[in-house]
Amino acid sequence: MLASTLILVSACLGNVSKSLVDSNSVLWFLSKSQHQIQNVNNYPTVTIGGMKWMSENLKITTFSNGDPILEVKTDAEWAGAANSKTAAFRIVNGVCFYNGYAAKDSRGIAPEGFRVASSVEFNSLMTALGGGTSVSGKAVGNLSSYSWEVEVWNDNKGDFELKKVKGINSVGFNANKGGFCYEDGSVNSGTCTYWWTSDGGAFDIGYCSQDLGGGYSAEMALGYGFEVRCVKN
């Protein structure tokens, strides 16, 4: 009976990695709903500065204990989750935003073996890739897969001019221009990326808006929506 069950479950898993199909994982799959099964991912990593980073942003719909994270689909629903302090996520143009209540929930949002990156780890990442500011420095070009323009002062002209920062994604970190989500649900999809950090704030690269700072912002309203990037434990 158990053998036939294993065969049946293995066949239903489709593209799920074969390494996951052992006796323990089969029992795990049998105990989860189909919605939760879709959360199983072997996240690829890239080593930078001695740390193993996920090479893509987190896209998961349950907490570590299997509890579902509320998915909202409209601006009004997002604002409602913020007002009620409810953990939530939404997907806009393929970008998965989590509010701060989800990112910092005690049930844990990081998959097993990973943790949400801290501000110290983001700063170490920047240093390892050449440093500079989070808007126009060398590091952000190595992290990002997109380009943007910033205003810089030209002493010779006595005026500001536009400087293009070109993302070359040299290390395979694959930072995308996801932007961020305001508390009211509206989305700023400019040329920037914002991530929640494990120590209470957010880290960003590129340029979207003067509403939020550059680099690490120590305290952020938990109703905002940012992406999440994890590092290996």
Strands (DSSP E) along 130-178, which ranges? 148-154, 159-165
How much is the average pLDDT of 180-205?
93
- pLDDT 10s digits, 79-98: 999 999 999 999 999 999 99
pLDDT value, residue 41: 55
pLDDT in tens, 198-220: 998 999 999 887 666 678 888 89
For the chain, the structural domain boundaries read 1-31, 43-232
Q: Are 109 and 217 in contact (CB under 8 A)?
A: no
Give the C-alpha separation, 109 to 224, whole Å: 16
User: What is the Cα 102 distance to its own chain's centre?
Assistant: 12
> Looking at the predicted structure, is the pLDDT value of residue 32 above 70?
no
Backbone angles phi, psi at 91, to 5 degrees: -115, 120
pLDDT tens digits, one per residue of 122-135: 999 999 999 999 98
